Amino acid sequence: MSNPILSLPAALNQFAILLDVDGTILDLAPTPREVFVSHALRDTLARLSERTQGAVAFVSGRPVSELDLIFAPLQLPAIGGHGAELRIVAGAAAGAPRLAPLDSRVKQRFAAIAEAGPGIVLEDKGYSLALHYRLAPDKETLVRAAAAEICSDLKDTSIELLPGKLVLEVKQTGVTKAIAVRELMTYPPFATRRPIFLGDDVTDLGVFEILPDFNGIGISVGRDVPGIAACFDRPADVRRWLEQISRNDAFATP
């Protein structure tokens, strides 16, 4: 870990812990369905939730139902679909979606890009579409150029492209992780606490930018981001740190 977090004497009950999932607490996998969640990580997250009185939440591009599936039986508060879904209470259903699902005709246009060759994996997230090319990194230019061309044709549709780590996300404008985090922070037990947000990719940058409004702490994974407090090299480092603070009432440097 570079730029380690300074030890903080405050107790966990003064903080809310907000966690991006893929690439932050979980190692990236060749395809989205191949991610692995260990029993140790589930135990760590459950312990953190108990010690923070429920102020631990996922902030993910995955739908909430998919988060529940991969972390089962754990069901934490969650922001899903890049802000399209919000669940405030652990185990409850997500509230009404902030967006309608991405139009099927739009999805079909972008899905055709996956036919350009083997190794391009399509992931339908409902509110967004992801084109993964981790298995074919040489296709990056092709994927981005084709998606940009489709976007230019869809002048009447509010679509944005979010490049990530060997993935290109296609989503509607209007909701973001940052907007959803602002809303989450108005509800107990998150309200009045200092958020600690951990993220690794382009879709997380907006959350890092709003943290000063809450006296929050930003921690990135695998990239240096202006204004953050620390940067972990890998998700494995994040998991070790989370496990440590789940057993220790103070935030200490690993």
Rounded to 5°, angle at Cα 181 from 177 and 183:
120
C-alpha of 198 from chain center: 9
Mapped onto helix, strand or coil, the DSSP state of residue 82 is: helix
First vs last C-alpha separation in the chain: 9
| Cis amide prior to 73 (ω within 30 degrees) | yes
For tokens 């909430």, what's the residue? 64
Q: Using alpha carbons, select from 78, 44, 82 the residue that is nearest to residue 169.
A: 82
C-alpha 214/C-alpha 186 separation (Å) is 11
For tokens 């951990």, what's the residue? 198
Catalytic-residue membership of 103: no
Please list the active-site residues. 20
